[in-house]
Structure 1
Amino acid sequence: MKNGNDPNHGNTTEEKESEMEEFIDYAKVIMGTLGHKVFEPVKKPATQKSDNTTTTVSDEIANLYLERRIKNVGKVEANGSQTSEGFVVFKNSHIATVDDDTIPDVIKERRKNASVDEQGILQEDMLFTSPSYAAMFVIGKSANGLTSKLEG
């Protein structure tokens, strides 16, 4: 819906506006230093489209694929990528629907709060601080993300 009225910009002086922008810049620096990238979107690596017009994935940021059969669960398959923010497990990855006591509580909480359908299909991209946390999220068991991944 389009509003035909122009909003009132208020009585914010240029000085106050500059102070507010400086505050936002400081907040970005502090949150980034603490490891929280809350002001930045999750960046996906560039991929090549079918018409061959975009750039290809760089050597340092490669898509990764994980496939594993888990007893009493079945097969899980996930796609992800290492980014400057951490490790991203991509939407539409199939994750285990159950977990065990070998994973940290923080991963159990992320699994519980994640948007996953009944079949275990992830409905959103998920960012993790390490490949191991991402692998544990997908598998539902303790895992080393550096040895669990298969390049695809």
Structure 2
Amino acid sequence: DYWTEAVVFTTSNNSFGPTEISYLENRFCTLAKEANRYILKNEIEPTQGNITEEKESELEEFIDYAKIVMGALGHKLFEPLIDKPKITINVETPEELLLFLKRKSRKSGKIIEASCKRTNEGFVVLQGSHIETIDSESIPPGIKERRQKAKIDENGILQENILFHSPSYAAAFVIGGNVNGLTQWKTKDGVSLKEIENSEGN
């Protein structure tokens, strides 16, 4: 058997090592199996490896972009033959969408709880949110600077509203590291922002 076409995904700074590549291979193989459109010929079952929660969020965002590119190229490798039932969500205006993020920090051991409001300008992390005070090594420089300048008290409570232009930047500000805001921000009913935006796009 011969192949006639290859699609290669890379990073601009060659930042993925063996652990990240193993995770991506595992996830891509799983997605392809679930879609059940092609025959996989991997002789070795890829392992997911042991990665941090922050790195997992970063890689999942990479996977989302890869799926978009593959679809744009006309390859339905990761698209199921039958779509999963879509969640129908009634949101009258963007201003009415209140989102929440809650997780236990591995750095401080504290429960981080924050609220965010989607507006026409972006995503506002609301005053009173509990902010992780310890930065991760993976934190984007711009977010690190915003955290240093923000009004946060000694208990990690945000004393002002702060606007961000993307949900991932808003989430990164809260947890002090890279994170996929589309999956981390959720409504009070547990519906993710990603599910909401997918529903709004239909």
Q: Identify the TM-score tier after normalising by the shorter chain.
A: 0.5 to 0.7
2:98 corresponds to:
63
Q: For this pair of structures, how many residues does the alignment match?
A: 96
Richer in helix (by share) = 2
Q: Which has the higher strand share?
A: 1
Structure 1 counterpart SS, 2:94: coil
Q: CA deviation at 1:71?
A: 1.2
Mapped to 2, the partners of 1:124 and 1:58 lie a distance apart of 26
Deviations 1:46-74 (A, max 9, x none): xxxxxxxxxxx835331001001011311
Specify the structure having the higher radius of gyration (Cα): 1
Counterpart residue identity of residue 135, structure 2? D
RMSD of Structure 2 on Structure 1 (CA): 1.3
| TM-score, L = length of structure 1 | 0.60
Ranges in structure 1 where 5+ consecutive residues have no aligned partner: 1-56
Name the counterpart of 1:151: 187
Normalised TM-score (structure 2): 0.46
* Structure 2, unpaired ranges of 5+: 1-90, 189-202
The correspondence of residues 1-152 of structure 1 with structure 2, limited to 5 A, is 58-61=92-95, 62-73=97-108, 74-152=110-188
Supply the distance in 1 between the matched residues of 2:134 and 2:119 (Cα, whole angstroms).
27
Measured in 1, the distance between the counterparts of 2:170 and 2:115 equals 10
